[in-house]
Amino acid sequence: MLDNLRSKVISIIDQDNTVVEKLQAICDLLKENVAYYDWVGFYFKNGEKDELKLGPYSGEPTDHTIIPFGKGICGQVAVSNQNFVVPDVKAQDNYIACSITVKAEIVVPLFVNGKNVGQIDIDSNTPDPFTRSDERFLEFINAEVAKIL
């Protein structure tokens, strides 16, 4: 199913829209088409500050519009430059709860010219839903997004 969305992501990237509109369309596409993607959003490095700022997202509003590097799953990925798959958020000491319904999270860093500029963050209300296929798919999305940043 994820493979079927790859061509749709490419067509969104190729549209004559702003970057923000493209990122919003990707978030909406993923949330609407992957049953266990309950919140989908992009965070980006906030200028020269060691923090992330929320960009386009699809799902319930969040209070976490700014996340310091090192805090929560997103903040840890900003420092580690590594994918972070969390099968059970309750088992994580350094987890920032966005919603009591969230059971699992996956965060994949977004690189432009080898530099970590942001990430895609997915919350799921389903326990342990993420596989290697999700990681590869989100890496693909970030590689496509990097072309327009």
CATH value at residue 69:
3.30.450.40
pTM: 0.96
Q: 26 lies in which domain range?
A: 2-146
Return the amino acid letter for 89. V
Q: Indicate the number of domains in the chain.
A: 1
pLDDT of the residue at 96: 74
* pLDDT tens digits, one per residue of 56-74: 999 999 999 999 999 999 9
CA dist., res. 31 & res. 5, Å (int):
12
* pLDDT tens digits, one per residue of 91-119: 887 777 667 899 999 999 999 999 999 99
Q: How many angstroms separate the Cα of 131 from the Cα of each of 48, 63, 95, 141, 149?
A: 33, 28, 20, 16, 27
